[in-house]
Amino acid sequence: MKIIKNPAAESWDSIFARPQMDDSLIESRVCDIIDNVRRRGDRALRELTLRVEGIDLEEFEVSDEEIAAACSAVSDELKGALAVAKRNIELFHRAQLTEGVDVETMTGVRCRQERRAIRRVGLYVPGGSAPLVSTVLMLALPARIAGCKELIICTPPNVAPEILYAAQLCGVDKVYRLGGAIAVAAMAYGTESVAKVDKIFGPGNRYVTTAKQLVSRDVAIDMPAGPSEVMIVADTTAQARFVAADMLSQLEHGGDSQAIAVVFSDDFAGELVRTFGEQLRLLSRREIAESAADNSRVIVVDDIDKALNIINYYAPEHLILSVAEAENIVGRVESAGSIFLGNYSPESAGDYASGTNHTLPTNGWARSISGVGVDSFTKKITIQHITQEGLNLLAPAICAIADAEGLEAHKKAVTIRL
């Protein structure tokens, strides 16, 4: 992991570049998969799953019997932990169900906004390199709170029992053994076995994210939630070993993950690199984290203003502010998916159980897109109710604008009522 001192703004594009892969190769593979599933439905799902995952599937949907068996195989300890996480995620997401607006804009002109749930939602749960049980909670609980009627999950074929338990715990209707772009295409276009959904949610690797972006011409998606990334700003009140542990917690996701620490002294940078190396050597997923460490950096800057410029430029998926006065500084952060304040808010807390959602925009999308929340599972409809008196008052404005646009029939729809 490189230490870089006071990099000039002109070098930021290369220093803070996300790990590159051959996107054109991934895109062409994903395009072929989507096209195949669209044209050939279940036959394509079976052939592609054999080719990509090496598994010959007889049934795509996981049966009730398998789910029941999985539920009894899961330990009581994990069940207890998931209950804690569920409670906190529900509390935080239920609180997001705010009242709609209702405004009388002029006498007799009433405008309001009402929320409606999206009917059928497709939830992608990653399972390539690790079975992300927590993602089931992060997607299914907000969907249920929003009032979605049908929830389906797709996850790579060797489905861990813990995922099935979590699905049952959160009231998911169906679970399909489908992974990557195959799953996204099935949910986007539907096949004989998989019903087309109204919106696709969930994180995943580059195959999943590319597929979601490609099908987004035809079906709504939550956002590009790709390889994990974390930026940590640490001053002398931080502990280097905590910072290193937080970096490694994201680097173990995949070789294309990225962790960037922004610190204020050479000594701290040196101590961080040392403890990072020590902790890395002891990790069970050492090889993955080691290859992601090549994409990672420690940046030394002079002051918090420079650190804030870097944060807002990079727009990290996760930002940890391990600095004195973190609460005072957080208001100056313009772009980040989710922020963790102080020395005792590790990112793992948000990944699993504090209550916030872990499905977050990566690759700089936090500049313009929010992470998943209850709003993601709803749409808001505007409604207006105008009285005769209200229309009389509003008519001159409508008619003048209709005249300016040369749209006579628009004007007539008002004047005929006057």
Ligand X SMILES: NC(=O)c1ccc[n+]([C@@H]2O[C@H](COP(=O)([O-])OP(=O)(O)OC[C@H]3O[C@@H](n4cnc5c(N)ncnc54)[C@H](O)[C@@H]3O)[C@@H](O)[C@H]2O)c1
In the complex, the residues that contact ligand X under the rule CB under 6 A are 29, 52-53, 126-130, 132, 135, 156, 179-182, 203-205, 207-208, 225-228, 253-254, 257, 317, 358-360, 362
- Assign residue 10 a region (left: φ > 0; alpha: ψ between -120 and 50; beta: otherwise): alpha
Beta bridge partners of 231: 260, 319
Q: Would you say 253 is a known binding-site residue?
A: yes
Q: Which is nearer to ligand HSO, 193 or 348 (CB)?
A: 348
The identity of residue 84, as a single letter, is: V
Would you count residue 206 as binding ligand HSO (CB under 6 A)? Answer: no
Q: Could you give the 3-state DSSP secondary structure of residue 89?
A: helix
Closest approach of ligand X to the CB of residue 352, in Å: 11
Binding mask 325-354 for Zn ion (x = CB under 5 A): --------------------------x---
Closest approach of ligand X to the CB of residue 299, in Å: 22
Q: Which is nearer to ligand X, 15 or 52 (CB)?
A: 52
> Which residues 339-368 are close enough to bind ligand HSO by CB under 6 A?
351, 358
Q: Which of ligand HSO, ligand X, Zn ion, none does residue 208 bind to, with CB < 5 to 8 Å depending on kind?
A: ligand X
Q: Would you say 385 is a known binding-site residue?
A: no
Closest approach of ligand X to the CB of residue 417, in Å: 51
DSSP 319-371: EEEESTTHHHHGGG----SEEEESTT--HHHHHHTSSS------TTGGGT---
| Nearest residue to Zn ion, by Cβ distance, number only | 351
Q: Which of ligand X, ligand HSO, Zn ion, none does residue 298 bind to, with CB < 5 to 8 Å depending on kind?
A: none
- C-alpha separations of 373 from 37, 137, 204 in Å: 30, 12, 17
Catalytic, out of 290, 317, 347, 358: 317
Neighbour count for residue 202 (Cβ, 10 Å): 30
Q: For strand 2-5 and strand 297-300, is the pairing parallel, antiparallel, or unpaired?
A: parallel
Q: Would you say 351 is a known binding-site residue?
A: yes
End-to-end CA distance of the chain: 73
Q: Would you say 405 is a known binding-site residue?
A: yes
Catalytic, out of 252, 290, 318, 347: 318
Whether 318 is catalytic is yes
**Which residues contact residue 148 at a Cβ distance below 8 angstroms, ignoring those fewer than 6 apart?**
117, 118, 119, 120, 121, 377
Beta bridge partners of 297: 2, 260
d(CA 44, CA 93): 37
Closest approach of ligand HSO to the CB of residue 359, in Å: 7
Q: Which is nearer to ligand X, 138 or 148 (CB)?
A: 138
Closest approach of ligand HSO to the CB of residue 351, in Å: 4
Nearest to 137 by CA among 93, 195, 74: 93
Whether 317 is catalytic is yes
Q: Which is nearer to ligand X, 157 or 390 (CB)?
A: 157
> Which residues 69-88 are close enough to bind ligand HSO by CB under 6 A?
none
- Looking at 49, 155, 191, 228, which residue binds ligand HSO (CB under 6 A)? 228
d(CA 41, CA 180): 16
Tokens of 188: 């986007």
Q: Which of ligand HSO, Zn ion, ligand X, none does residue 134 bind to, with CB < 5 to 8 Å depending on kind?
A: ligand HSO
- Looking at 49, 88, 134, 295, which residue binds ligand HSO (CB under 6 A)? 134
Q: Would you say 216 is a known binding-site residue?
A: no
The identity of residue 298, as a single letter, is: V
Residue 18: exposure state from Cβ atoms within 10 A (0-12, 13-18, ≥19) = middle
Q: Is the dihedral of CA 356, 295, 299, 266 positive or negative?
A: positive
Binding site for Zn ion (CB under 5 A): 351
Annotated binding site for substrate: 228, 250, 253, 318, 351, 405, 410
Binding site for ligand HSO (CB under 6 A): 132, 134-135, 228, 250, 317, 351, 358
Residues designated catalytic = 317-318
